[in-house]
Amino acid sequence: MSLLQRFALSLALLLASTATPAQTMAWIDGAFEPSYTLNCAHGYSEVLTQSLIGYYGATDASYPKVGDPYYVRVLLGTVGAPCAGGAQVSVRVLFPLATAPVTGDPLRPIRCFSFPLSNPDQMAEYTDGSCPLTPTLIEPGVWQYNPTPGFGAAWPVPTGQGLQIWFPVSSQVVLNGIASGDDARFFGRIWNIDGVYSPESFPRQWVFVAPAGQDLIFENGFESSQARPALDAETIPTPASPSLFDVHLH
């Protein structure tokens, strides 16, 4: 079984064990997007990295609401074997309409994790100061989440390892997933520097942002006027939070 297949199987087993129909809050992720390299030993083309982008929200689309802080994440793993031994990864994200980073929230800092692809639930958080306190705006609407200056220009992700970057944002308009088109899309621009092609990959996900002050509950597929309690701490993910890879709200 290849490293890519083991990565996919490990993630599937992890997610199957954590995501349940009763779960209200979860990572709502887009599909994996590959990049490609040349295998060092044999010279054939192979997948270098797999990356996705998603957000932490309510599966009934009641959270986030306009003005709410919520987490977005980029998740990737290096599965190919270039001669460089992996990839140096630069993480850049184009935000949806009227969406900006949240800074200065002690409950929602940027968080950075590494993990082995063979056990993606074994996440180790970066605590050496390399995880940035704030992102860098590199062009209109595009924010970069690279290591803190002094820790290198990109994230080292060796073959067999993965990376997660969690970052808080807030949207100031209602967004209706793919029905809102590009206005509601997080668009990753992940630069995978491998000494061969150094390709980019472009994971994406569309977000639902409900009207401010309106608590939505969907009953039998239709919106209900029933109020729901505040989500409070439920809106802050933990490394054990489930992910709905197989549930796409877009």
Q: Please, are residues 28 and 59 in contact by the beta-carbon 8 Å criterion?
A: yes
Mean pLDDT (the chain, rounded): 85
226's CB contacts (< 8 A; 6+ apart) are: 217, 219
Query: Across the strands, what pairs with 165?
Result: 74, 112
Query: Domain limits of the chain?
Result: 3-235
CA dist 168 and 100 (Å) reads 9
Q: 24 or 110: whose pLDDT is higher?
A: 110
Q: 33 or 122: whose pLDDT is higher?
A: 33
Percentage of the chain modeled with pLDDT above 70: 80
> For the residues 191-212, what does the mean pLDDT come to?
96
Q: Please, are residues 210 and 51 in contact by the beta-carbon 8 Å criterion?
A: no
pLDDT in tens, 52-87: 999 999 999 999 999 999 999 999 999 999 999 999
Structure tokens at 76: 């990737």
pLDDT in tens, 93-135: 999 999 999 999 999 999 999 999 998 888 999 999 999 999 9
Please give the distance of CA 87 from its chain centroid, rounded to a whole number.
18
- pLDDT given at position 19: 43
Strands 86-94 and 142-144, by their bridges, are antiparallel
Query: Which runs of consecutive H residues, i.e. helices, occur in the chain?
Result: 3-18
Q: Please, are residues 44 and 38 in contact by the beta-carbon 8 Å criterion?
A: yes
- pTM of the prediction? 0.84
- pLDDT given at position 230: 45
Alpha-carbon distances of 207 from 28, 116, 180, 197, rounded to whole Å: 9, 28, 9, 31
Q: Please, are residues 162 and 77 in contact by the beta-carbon 8 Å criterion?
A: yes
Question: Residue 219: is its pLDDT beyond 60?
Answer: no
- pLDDT given at position 233: 78
CA dist 205 and 30 (Å) reads 5
- pLDDT given at position 10: 54
Long-range contacts of 174-182 (CB under 8 A, 24+ apart): 174/66, 174/209, 174/210, 174/211, 175/96, 175/97, 175/206, 175/207, 175/208, 175/209, 176/208, 177/206, 177/207, 177/208, 177/249, 177/250, 178/206, 178/250, 180/96, 180/97, 180/206, 182/96
Instruction: Identify the band that residue 244 occupies on the pLDDT scale cut at 50, 70 and 90.
Output: low
How would CATH label the architecture of 3-235? Answer: Sandwich (2.60)
Question: Residue 40: is its pLDDT beyond 80?
Answer: yes
Question: Residue 14: is its pLDDT beyond 70?
Answer: no
Structure tokens at 120: 């993606």
